[in-house]
Amino acid sequence: MSEEQSTTAEPATAPAAAASPQEAGAAAAGGAQTPPLYQFEDMRLKVGDRLQIQLPSSVAQDRLIVKLIGYIEDQCLLITAPSGPGILKSLVEGDRIVVRIFSGQGAFGFICFLDRIIRLPFEYLHLSFPREIQGLMIRKAPRVKTDISVKVDASAGAVDAFVANLSATGMSLRTQTRLGDKGGEISFTLPLALYDVKTELKLKGKIRAITSIPLEGGGEEHQFGVELVDVRPEETLILQSVVHHELAKNPYSVV
């Protein structure tokens, strides 16, 4: 079964999977930052999902693309056979295989070992089930830098603030007046311009994170991570369009 070979470079966010907990601990002791661990179900894998595998260097130098055939939890993974001259002939049972998955949820990596090469009714690989899965989660939506003035209705009353970055699902608000506590609700009118067409969205949000920075001369600047709630589909579409327009105009504006 032929699968195309990966020709793209690995994203910077791809996790490096440790072969064992001992290796991970050694890396941490050496000062390296180990990505957090996840459960198998966190990857939300489906039959037919594309996986990137790295075989022993004596077998193949390039990373290869295969597909998930299926799995039995805590027992095995089944993947299509990688394509390439002489690859299957060079593989032996017990070979160590690094598996990476890139999805909308994040990037994950883990170690498997080749249990068996199955040749009938078609060629595929029978792998051990991963014992340790490392990963890096990403935001649900792309976020871009902005500088938009807004007036926020919060528990402290009407507060002037500005939007430091924006996505279709949330934003970062900065102000010198505290808007409230984590979990608190706010509302505001967000002025936007898309292709020189101005519009205003009346939005609601929940405070999910708070960071306070002392200012020279006294006082503090507060940064609030806000999750948008009760957003109508047409408002989401406008927010997505604004973000994508900004990304197309200035790719370096991504946060």
Domain 144-253 has CATH 3.90.1570.10: no
**What's the gap between Cα 117 and its chain centre?**
32
Tens of pLDDT, residue by residue over 16-65, are 443 333 343 333 334 445 667 889 988 888 899 999 999 999 999 888 99
Query: Can you tell me the distance from the alpha carbon of 89 to that of 165, in angstroms, rounded to the nearest whole number?
Result: 52
Token reading at 176: 């010198």
Helix (H) or strand (E) holding 43: none
Q: Is the pLDDT assigned to residue 11 strictly greater than 70?
A: no
Quick one: CA dihedral 80, 137, 145, 152, positive or negative?
positive
Token reading at 126: 């029978």
Tens of pLDDT, residue by residue over 128-138, are 999 999 987 66
Q: Taking every pair of C-alpha atoms in the chain, what is the biggest distance, in angstroms?
A: 76
Partner residues linked to 162 by β-bridges: 149, 174
Tens of pLDDT, residue by residue over 57-108, are 999 988 899 999 999 999 999 999 998 889 999 999 999 999 998 765 568 9
What is the DSSP code (8-state) at residue 40?
Answer: G
SS3 label, residue 207: strand
- Residue 164 confidence class, pLDDT cut points 50, 70, 90: very high
155 contacts 198 by C-beta, under 8 angstroms: no
Which residues of the chain form CATH 2.30.110.10?
21-137
Which residues of the chain form CATH 2.40.10.220?
144-253
Instruction: Specify the range with the lowest mean pLDDT, choosing from 28-32, 167-171, 173-177.
Output: 28-32
Over residues 190-201, mean pLDDT: 90
Domain range 21-137, CATH class: mainly beta
The overall pTM is greater than 0.75 = no
